[in-house]
Every structure is written in C-alpha cells, then in structure tokens.
C-alpha cells in the first residue's frame, strides 16, 4: 500500500513540476527613475534573463523620468538599449502621460521604442495576464 501511495505521489509531483516548467517566462520591468544605476540594472537584467532563458518575453515600461533611458540625448546607454531591442522578445514602452507631462515628443525617443497611453495601466494589464513584475531600483 505504501508503494502505491508513494508511486501516486511521485506521479502527481512530476506532473505538477512539468506543468510549472511549461509556463512561459514573461516579465515586465517598471522603470520610473532617471538614475543611471537603475537604468544599468534593467539593461543587465535583460541580458541575464535572455542568456538564461532565450525564449523569455520582457517588457520595460517607463514613466515618471524613466523614459530618459530611451532618449539618445539624455542616455549613456543608447547602444545597450539598441542591442537589447534586437531581441524580438524584448520591448521598451514609454507612458504617453509622462511624455506629455515632461513635454517629450515621440521623435525624441529611440526608433523602435513604443508608447502606451498609460504606463501604470500597461503594467497592471501585464500582471493580469500573469506576467511577473519587477520594480527597477538599486
């Protein structure tokens, strides 16, 4: 009887582990800071996740002053952002409310950077779709 119970437990445990491994790896990064350490951190995390899990989907949502990461005249990390955007599973999205509040035009952003009407809503929507959430801070 113990053998049957153990075998059944092992089968159920294996099924649960296999199911968990089949879940997609999707993460949304919340960047609100112009701090270069925060900006470097999100770029580093994208590289690390991409290396460990090449199929992982990642989205960086920027609002407040975080969008300066993708503004060539304000960012020292432009080349790193361009390199990250070569990965089709990585996207950078800027909040249009933050852009309006800071008088920033889409033309001031790196080509390929997308905008969303509301950055916070974008993050909440991703969480409702079961994306992981990481607040970028050092």
Domain boundaries, the chain: 24-135
Flag whether pLDDT at 133 surpasses 70: yes
Report the length, in residues, of the chain: 138
Separation of alpha carbons 135 and 53, rounded Å: 20
In the chain, what are the helix, strand and coil shares in percent, each to the nearest 5?
A: 50, 20, 30
Question: Which tokens go with 10?
Answer: 């092992």
Residue with tokens 């899990």: 53
Examine the pLDDT at 32 and tell me if it is beyond 90.
yes
**Each residue's pLDDT tens digit, 8-29:** 444 444 555 444 557 899 999 9
Judge residue 70's burial from the number of C-beta atoms within 10 Å of its C-beta, 0-12 exposed, 13-18 middle, 19 or more buried: buried
CATH code at 24-135: 3.40.1260.10
Q: Is the pLDDT of residue 7 over 80?
A: no
Q: What is the pLDDT of residue 22?
A: 73
pLDDT in tens, 63-120: 999 999 999 999 999 999 999 999 999 999 999 999 999 999 999 999 999 999 999 9
So what's the pLDDT on residue 1? Answer: 55
């Amino acid at each position: 009887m113990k053998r049957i119970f153990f075998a059944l437990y092992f089968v159920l445990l294996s099924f649960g582990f296999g199911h968990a491994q089949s879940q997609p790896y999707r993460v949304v990064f919340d960047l609100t800071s112009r701090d270069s350490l925060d900006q470097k951190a999100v770029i580093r995390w994208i590289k690390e996740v991409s290396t460990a899990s090449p199929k992982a989907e990642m989205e960086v949502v920027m609002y407040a002053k975080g969008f300066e990461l993708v503004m060539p005249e304000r960012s020292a990390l432009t080349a790193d952002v361009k390199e990250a955007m070569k990965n089709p599973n990585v996207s950078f999205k800027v909040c249009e409310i933050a852009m309006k509040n800071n008088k920033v035009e889409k033309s001031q952003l790196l080509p390929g950077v997308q905008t969303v009407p509301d950055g916070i809503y974008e993050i909440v929507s991703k969480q409702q779709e079961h994306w992981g959430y990481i607040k970028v801070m050092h």
